[in-house]
Amino acid sequence: MDMRLNMTSSIKEKINQLRSVIRHHDRKYYVENTPAITDYEYDLLVKELQQLEQAHPELITPDSPTQRVGGEPLSQFATINHKIPMLSIDNTYSGEELREFDQRIKRMADIDKQQDVEYVVELKIDGIAITIWYENGLFTRGATRGDGFKGDDVTANLKTIHQIPLTLESAGKGQHVPTVLEIRGEIYLPNKEFQRLNEERVESGEPQFANPRNAAAGSLKLLDPRITAKRHLHIFTYAIGHYEGIELQTHTQCLDVLRGLGLPVNTHTQSCKSIEEVIQHCNTWDERRDELDYLVDGMVIKVNSLALHNQLGATSKSPRWVISYKFQPEQAITKIEEIVVQVGKTGVITPVANLTPVLLAGTTVSRATLHNFDEIARKDIRVGDHVVLQKAGEIIPQVVSVVKEKRDGTEDVFKEPTACPECNSDLARIGVYLRCNNPLCLAQTKRRIKYFASRDAMDVEGLGPALIEQLVDKGFLKDYADIYHLKYDDLVGLERMGEKSSASLIQAIEESKKRDLDHLISALGINNVGTHTAEVLANHFGDLDTLANATQEALERIHEIGPVVAGCIVEFFQDKHNRVVVEKLKSSGINTQKLAVPTVAKNPHISGKSFVITGVLQKYPRKEAEILIKGLGGRVLSSVSKKTDYLVVGESPGSKADKARELNVTILDEEAFEKMIRMI
Ligand code: IVH
């Protein structure tokens, strides 16, 4: 062997050794929660491996711990057909229903009524179901549940989750790695990570996620794995789908295999000898679920014997050997310290209760929305009252009812405001809502500016809510157009603003002037005009002035714009104050034209027609195809209906193609689509 070969093979050995040590510590840290080295020591190992791989890129393998975060964002997810359908689970809500489930099983499997069936009871993690395939011990692909038969290929995002090993290594004890193993589990976001993520989003002006489940789903469905990696998703694995090269008799064995191979299995799993034990275990967790740092919405009860699974089979919806026991939505009782009123960006006044902080469904709650003043009167909510709170999918919980027995006479009836709490202007009543009609109201100004700078609107990086508060209070911002007159000297010296952050904000403000017209329209904060309507308007009018001069009739003629929205747009541009602000925006050099669309003549085959795209297009990534269609005067919709004119079909199309055939919608393959866009 010559010297060079010798050296390469020893480097290869070193690399393999490092990977194995890192994997060992990943398992200790991420799966077993028993770190054996410090973060610093771990980072040194990873750095050493990175350096060796950088010097010898030919030795990089996809399962190397350095390869968790992929490079470029995807243009869309491919579809994966599930070899075994991912069915759902039937629900029960009481011990009695669980006993019926037990009896049904005995009846169907011909088991004596007196004999007990063995069950495994697991926590029902409130997250997103996924499937992961390992072939010869290598993580090859992973997908979401989707419709149960096919889901999205989210391999790149799943690879960013450190708890999921990229290669399976047995923990010894005679266990070997299966040749093929499909595991099933739940991706979730721990409560702490959820809270951290939402705090970051408030700071950067992005909308908050309603609950940890939505946050996990949103993070798993991002096309850029680099962002997913920052979300710190977690997983519990709870079942094996397809497998080859191992023998399994019970569900307990399945969980042992998963645990042995280094996959996270929830530690609160319990074997129960009878349905009565199951019920007891469910009741215990109904009371203890607050102790967990992730959300569970019930328990899952599984028959332990796999032979019995086969015997029982499944309905079209769910297997007969499993059932869930759902908890009631979590409630908490706390005291209303005060009721304050908030002014929204359109002037609507909302009452909000400040509460004695209380733990509810994983987060500490100190505020609850009271919706409107009629609601306060209807529920007879008073300051000082103890109230029952409940989360129903929103971040801000709702007051369900007042605990009247706890009243001691010191409670105060809340008086509806007669003037705006911020600017003292008179309030107008619109239905159940009160509204401040003063366009110069400071509270509204702040709300409007915060929205203007947010991601969905002009996306001014670094101009978050806290800074906007300061800038308005100090008089630097009187309306959102003032953003474009801010100077470095105005910023530097403000709270949390150093030289560097001030300079980058000035640059970000300059950068935001180039945003496309739909962002600008959305940023104006016109009542009832969100991002989608803004896009429709931008496509239709092409520049801000034409939109500003459009009549009610012209607006109503646009597909998707109704009389109410049209009225709001006309009202906005007729308002004297708004006109001044819009002029100020224009004179700051902001873009007011539709960008991105080449000035081609409208294509008569495409103009006015609606398109849906499905599958992977080779020549035009999805976004590009959409821009092309829109640029030629067409509309792009997300689902096929009778109104769809064309379905453009790429590789591995989903159910949309079937739907299109059913509805007689013309289907274009990529070649036909290309021909069509070239015909003018
Ligand atoms: S077993 C066919 N076990 O609950 C049974 N599911 O409402 C396969 N879930 O789609 C699933 N925790 O996403 C199972 N310990 C657990 C679970 C669990 C959460 C989810 C899963 C499933 C949904 C049904």
Domain at 427, CATH number: 2.40.50.140
Q: Examine residue 603 and state whether it is found in any structural domain, yes or no.
A: no
CB 215 within 8 A of CB 233: no
Ligand 1 centre from 323 Cα, in Å? Answer: 9
Domain extent, residue 663, equals 610-678
Query: pLDDT at position 356, please?
Result: 95
Check whether residue 125 and residue 247 sit in a common domain.
yes
Ligand 1 centre from 35 Cα, in Å? Answer: 29
Q: Is the pLDDT of residue 172 over 70?
A: no
Instruction: Count CB-CB contacts under 10 A for residue 519.
Output: 22
End-to-end CA distance of the chain: 67
Q: Is the pLDDT of residue 598 over 50?
A: no
Ligand 1 centre from 121 Cα, in Å? Answer: 12
Task: Establish whether residue 122 lines the binding site of ligand 1, counting it when its CB lies within 6 angstroms of any ligand atom.
Answer: yes
Check whether residue 564 and residue 648 sit in a common domain.
no
481 vs 205 pLDDT, higher one: 481
Q: Examine residue 658 and state whether it is found in any structural domain, yes or no.
A: yes
Q: Examine residue 81 and state whether it is found in any structural domain, yes or no.
A: no
240-254, 387-401, 533-547 — most confident range: 240-254
Check whether residue 100 and residue 28 sit in a common domain.
no
Query: pLDDT at position 174, please?
Result: 66
Check whether residue 478 and residue 560 sit in a common domain.
yes
Check whether residue 454 and residue 520 sit in a common domain.
yes
The per-residue pLDDT for range 21-71, each reduced to its tens digit, is 999 999 999 988 888 888 888 989 999 999 999 999 999 998 999 999 877
Pocket test for ligand 1, best of 90, 124, 145 (most atoms within 8 A of CB): 124
Task: Establish whether residue 126 lines the binding site of ligand 1, counting it when its CB lies within 6 angstroms of any ligand atom.
Answer: no
* Least confident stretch, 81-95, 595-609, 611-625: 595-609
Query: pLDDT at position 601, please?
Result: 56
Check whether residue 23 and residue 100 sit in a common domain.
no
The total number of residues written for the chain in this structure: 680
- In angstroms, the Cα distances linking 73 to 136, 429, 459 are 28, 48, 20
Query: pLDDT at position 188, please?
Result: 97
Task: Establish whether residue 635 lines the binding site of ligand 1, counting it when its CB lies within 6 angstroms of any ligand atom.
Answer: no
Q: Examine residue 498 and state whether it is found in any structural domain, yes or no.
A: yes
- From the list 14, 47, 113, 124, the catalytic residue is 124
Q: Show which of 304, 326, 348 is a domain's final residue.
A: 326
Check whether residue 143 and residue 188 sit in a common domain.
yes
The CATH number given to whatever domain includes residue 26 is 1.10.287.610
Ligand 1 centre from 113 Cα, in Å? Answer: 28
Q: What is the mean pLDDT of residues 469-474?
A: 94
Check whether residue 177 and residue 319 sit in a common domain.
yes
- Neighbouring residues of 4: CB distance < 8 A, sequence distance ≥ 6: none
Task: Establish whether residue 193 lines the binding site of ligand 1, counting it when its CB lies within 6 angstroms of any ligand atom.
Answer: no
Atom of ligand 1 nearest to the CA of 269: 15
Ligand 1 centre from 419 Cα, in Å? Answer: 52
Give me the amino acid identity at 297. D
Task: Establish whether residue 331 lines the binding site of ligand 1, counting it when its CB lies within 6 angstroms of any ligand atom.
Answer: no
Q: What does the longest C-alpha to C-alpha distance in the chain come to?
A: 93
Q: What is the mean pLDDT of residues 403-429?
A: 92
Q: Examine residue 84 and state whether it is found in any structural domain, yes or no.
A: no
> What is the pTM assigned to this prediction?
0.62
Q: Examine residue 626 and state whether it is found in any structural domain, yes or no.
A: yes
Within a 13 Å sphere around the CA of 445, how many CA atoms are in the beta-carbon half? 24
Check whether residue 319 and residue 361 sit in a common domain.
no
Task: Establish whether residue 270 lines the binding site of ligand 1, counting it when its CB lies within 6 angstroms of any ligand atom.
Answer: no
- Neighbouring residues of 71: CB distance < 8 A, sequence distance ≥ 6: none
Atom of ligand 1 nearest to the CA of 239: 1
Q: Is the pLDDT of residue 559 over 80?
A: no
Distance of CA 431 to the CA centre of its chain: 33
Q: Is the pLDDT of residue 250 over 50?
A: yes
Task: Establish whether residue 484 lines the binding site of ligand 1, counting it when its CB lies within 6 angstroms of any ligand atom.
Answer: no
CA distance 579 to 521: 14
Q: Is the pLDDT of residue 599 over 50?
A: no
* Active-site annotation holds for 192: no
Among 145, 95, 146, 142, smallest CA distance to 121 is for 95
Nearest CA to ligand 1 atom 10: 88
Query: pLDDT at position 532, please?
Result: 81
> How confident is residue 544, by pLDDT bands cut at 50, 70 and 90?
very high
Q: Is the pLDDT of residue 602 over 70?
A: no
Check whether residue 217 and residue 250 sit in a common domain.
yes
Q: Show which of 279, 309, 326 is a domain's final residue.
A: 326
Task: Establish whether residue 87 lines the binding site of ligand 1, counting it when its CB lies within 6 angstroms of any ligand atom.
Answer: yes
Q: Show which of 387, 414, 433 is a domain's final residue.
A: 433
Task: Establish whether residue 252 lines the binding site of ligand 1, counting it when its CB lies within 6 angstroms of any ligand atom.
Answer: no
Q: Examine residue 181 and state whether it is found in any structural domain, yes or no.
A: yes
Q: Is the pLDDT of residue 234 over 50?
A: yes
Q: What is the mean pLDDT of residues 214-225?
A: 92
Q: What is the mean pLDDT of residues 5-21?
A: 85
Q: Is the pLDDT of residue 569 over 50?
A: yes
Strand partners, 434: 349, 429
Query: How many domains is the chain built from?
Result: 5
Q: Is the pLDDT of residue 281 over 80?
A: yes
Atom of ligand 1 nearest to the CA of 126: 19
Task: Quickly tell me which residue has 């998707």 as its tokens.
Answer: 560
CA distance 240 to 293: 25
Atom of ligand 1 nearest to the CA of 89: 24
> How confident is residue 1, by pLDDT bands cut at 50, 70 and 90?
very low
> How confident is residue 539, by pLDDT bands cut at 50, 70 and 90?
confident
Ligand 1 centre from 183 Cα, in Å? Answer: 12
CB 381 within 8 A of CB 335: no
651 vs 538 pLDDT, higher one: 538
CA distance 678 to 676: 5
Task: Establish whether residue 333 lines the binding site of ligand 1, counting it when its CB lies within 6 angstroms of any ligand atom.
Answer: no
Query: pLDDT at position 204, please?
Result: 66
Query: pLDDT at position 361, please?
Result: 74
Check whether residue 185 and residue 310 sit in a common domain.
yes
> How confident is residue 452, by pLDDT bands cut at 50, 70 and 90?
very high
Task: Establish whether residue 124 lines the binding site of ligand 1, counting it when its CB lies within 6 angstroms of any ligand atom.
Answer: yes
Check whether residue 238 and residue 103 sit in a common domain.
yes
Write down the mean pLDDT value for the chain: 90
Q: Is the pLDDT of residue 444 over 60?
A: yes
Atom of ligand 1 nearest to the CA of 129: 13
Nearest CA to ligand 1 atom 9: 124
Q: Examine residue 667 and state whether it is found in any structural domain, yes or no.
A: yes
Nearest CA to ligand 1 atom 17: 124
The CATH number given to whatever domain includes residue 299 is 3.30.470.30
Atom of ligand 1 nearest to the CA of 322: 5
Task: Establish whether residue 129 lines the binding site of ligand 1, counting it when its CB lies within 6 angstroms of any ligand atom.
Answer: yes
> How confident is residue 171, by pLDDT bands cut at 50, 70 and 90?
low
CB 472 within 8 A of CB 538: no
117-121, 229-233, 659-663 — most confident range: 117-121
Pocket test for ligand 1, best of 93, 119, 125, 278 (most atoms within 8 A of CB): 125
